[in-house]
Chains A and B, each alone.
Chain A
Amino acid sequence: SAVISQKPSRDICQRGTSLTIQCQVDSQVTMMFWYRQQPGQSLTLIATANQGSEATYESGFVIDKFPISRPNLTFSTLTVSNMSPEDSSIYLCSVEGASGRTYDEQFFGPGTRLTVL
């Protein structure tokens, strides 16, 4: 499986500011995803990061709040904009596993723990 790193691993931010989270993969991957995990909760998909085009957002998530970049096949960023305490969560990126399978597997980065004061 791919090795995935995220920066920063954690941050404490002030209300109204923005934070950009980076996700780096050690190999080229087609599919990259961003998830949110609120305290004590499961994972919710924010968007699919598409290389060379705009991200595809899930219901309840919008580009103005969570702009995503995917400049190449190994890197993506997620920005959490105009933050409020409700944005305090763990943000995780994931990548789809090796191609050639008839099914999809996802592998996750270590996550970025965000606290908004």
Chain B
Amino acid sequence: TQLLEQSPQFLSIQEGENLTVYCNSSSVFSSLQWYRQEPGEGPVLLVTVVTGGEVKKLKRLTFQFGDARKDSSLHITAAQPGDTGLYLCAGDLGNTGKLIFGQGTTLQVKP
């Protein structure tokens, strides 16, 4: 049973297009993190969302945490080839310090 469902798992788009990645769960998270991982490297933390309904922006990336803290989304505006990579959401169920990861979304942005 996957506690954190991430979709889509693969996404191939043209430069300039917009996209949204979703993470959904039936569990409530105390916080949720989004990471980006490039081949041969470890995941790099993009953002942490903590409060239900919270919206955070990082340049062309917009992160949203659901009101009930069970789901989150990542929206990229005007995607660029440099956005290519594996995007991972990860939730902390109860301030345990242990993260549960979604399946990941492999994004390819073609020039």
Point out residues on A near B: beta carbons under 8 Å. Answer: 1, 4, 31, 33, 41-45, 48, 58, 92, 94, 96, 102-111, 113
Contacts and interface: CB of A to CB of B under 8 A. Distances in A.
Interface of B: 6, 30-31, 33, 35, 40-45, 48, 50, 88, 90, 92, 95, 97-104
Contacts of A1: 45
Nearest to A102: B50
A104 B44 CA distance: 15
B102 A42 contact: yes
B104 A41 contact: yes
A105 B45 contact: yes
Contacts of A48: 97-98
Given A96-B97, A103-B31, A103-B50, A110 B103 contact: no
Nearest to B6: A42
B30 A45 contact: no
Given A111-B41, A111-B42, A33 B30 contact: no
Contacts of B31: 103-105
Given A102-B50, A103-B30, A108 B98 contact: no
A104 B42 contact: no
6 contacts: A42-B6, A42-B101, A42-B102, A43-B90, A104-B97, A110-B40
Given A107-B45, A111-B41, 15 more contacts: A1-B45, A42-B6, A43-B90, A92-B42, A94-B42, A96-B97, A103-B48, A104-B97, A106-B99, A108-B35, A108-B42, A108-B43, A110-B40, A110-B41, A113-B40
Given A48-B98, A111-B42, A106 B103 contact: no
Contacts of A92: 42-43
A43 B6 CA distance: 13
Nearest to B44: A108
